[in-house]
Amino acid sequence: MIYIFQEAFKGFFKNKSMSLITVGIVSVSIFIFGLFIIGTANLMNLIKLAEDKIEMVAYINENTNENGIQSVRNNILSIAGVQSVEYISKEQAKEQFIKDFKDNANLLEVFENNPLPASIKVHISIAYKNPENLKNISEKIALFKEVSDVDYGAEWVDELDRAVKFLFIIDIILGIIIALASVFIVFNTIRLTIMARKDQIDIMDLVGATESYIEIPYIIEGIFHGLLGSLISAGILYLLFSFLSTKFPALISMNNSIICILAIFGVFLGFIGSIMSVKQCLSEIRDFKSRKKVKI
């Protein structure tokens, strides 16, 4: 058992250049993968911010009394997907208008009475913020006799929904391409470094090392390369994004869960890459001897 770790460790230092190349290639692959993950996190965040802006307003008929308001509030609250409601009286609406349109506040002065209707702001839970559900809820609210009109920016919601779906597909395709490319590149690098030690594996097999004894040092080495590579790229990404977030404060930068994802991805690449390579190397050595035409 001591041997196994010693050998894995020695392998790392003995083949310095090969180890550096492996770690370097893992770092670059994971760096690109990390950019993608952070990009995705920021994209999700933007979508969430946009969806937060979605709100529904139910305008109340002029002649609705206190009781009517109370009952329509409760009725709206009982609709599935409605999180909370907020009543805005005619006076509040006017104040808000004046606040919002400071320069043109006198627009209202042409009216004898306050023309702004009372309304109920309806907060929708995030899961219901899609075109179908919003439409459904708005139609239900419109049925109440106290409600004159419901508005939730249907066109904008539709557009946002289409954009989100499009970005999602692009993001997933990009993610698959990047992940596959990383797997391919890292696996091949590990394979080359292990194949370069074919002679060593051949001797182990000859003197009677069991398969696990042959494989485990290479696997530990692979895991170590993967972990080291991912931590290096995580470090670089961390620095890069701390710098960027001083310029763009809204940016989501590296956090622990992203570091974890990268480390797991790195270890995964190293582990699977080395286990597959060493098994392939071993079976190649054996096949070579029993089948292929070679000059002995």
Partner 1 sequence: MIEFSNVSKSFQGDWLALKNASFKINKGEFAFLIGKSGAGKSTIMKLIYLDIFPEDGYINIAGYDSRTIKRKDIPFLRRKIGVIFQDFKLLPDRNVYDNVAFALKVTGESYRNIRKKTLDALASVKMSHKRNSYPYQLSGGEQQKVAIARAIVREPFILLADEPTGNVDPENTAGIMNLLFEINTLGTAVLMATHDHSLIKKDINQVIGIRDGKIVKPENIFSKLDIEETESAL
Contact pattern from residue 122 through residue 161 relative to partner 1, giving x for each residue in contact according to CB under 8 A and a dash for the rest:
----------------------------------------
Count of residues of this chain found to bind ligand ADP when the rule CB under 6 A is applied: 5
Q: Quote the Cα angle for 54-59-62, to 5°.
A: 165
Which residues, 204 to 263, sit near partner 1 by CB under 8 A? 204, 206-211, 213-214
d(CA 95, CA 105): 10
Q: What share of the chain is helix, strand, coil (3-state, %, to 5)?
A: 75, 10, 20
For residue 229, the SS3 value is: helix
Using Cβ positions, the residue closest to ligand ADP within the complex turns out to be 296
Q: Residue 203: which of ligand ADP, partner 1, none does it interact with, CB under 5 to 8 A by kind? A: partner 1
Nearest distance in Å: CB 206, ligand ADP: 15
Of 127, 143, 250, 296, the residue at the interface with partner 1 (CB under 8 A) is 296
User: Which residue do the tokens 């696997």 mark?
Assistant: 219
C-beta separation of 12 from 19 below 8 A: yes
Select 30 or 214, whichever has its Cβ closest to partner 1: 214
Q: Is 291 in the site for partner 1 (CB under 8 A)?
A: yes
Q: Residue 209: which of ligand ADP, partner 1, none does it interact with, CB under 5 to 8 A by kind? A: partner 1
Of 202, 240, 275, 279, the residue at the interface with partner 1 (CB under 8 A) is 202
d(CA 133, CA 266): 41
C-beta separation of 181 from 29 below 8 A: yes
In Å, what is the CA distance from 170 to each residue of 160, 162, 178, 181, 265?
15, 12, 12, 16, 21
Which residues, 275 to 294, sit near ligand ADP by CB under 6 A? 289, 292-294
Within a 10 A sphere around the Cβ of 14, how many other Cβ atoms? 11
Contact pattern from residue 41 through residue 80 relative to partner 1, giving x for each residue in contact according to CB under 8 A and a dash for the rest:
----------------------------------------
Nearest distance in Å: CB 232, partner 1: 26
Any residues with CB less than 8 A from the CB of 33 and at least 6 apart, and which? 178, 179, 182, 262, 265
Select 151 or 211, whichever has its Cβ closest to partner 1: 211
Q: Judging by beta carbons within 10 Å of its beta carbon (0-12, 13-18, 19+), is residue 13 exposed, middle or buried?
A: exposed
Token code pair at residue 293? 């035409």
C-beta separation of 148 from 59 below 8 A: yes
Q: Is 14 in the site for partner 1 (CB under 8 A)?
A: yes
Select 110 or 296, whichever has its Cβ closest to ligand ADP: 296
Residues that bind partner 1 (CB under 8 A): 2-3, 6-7, 14, 199-200, 202-204, 206-211, 213-214, 286, 289-291, 293, 296
Summarize as ranges the residues that interact with ligand ADP (CB under 6 A). 289, 292-294, 296
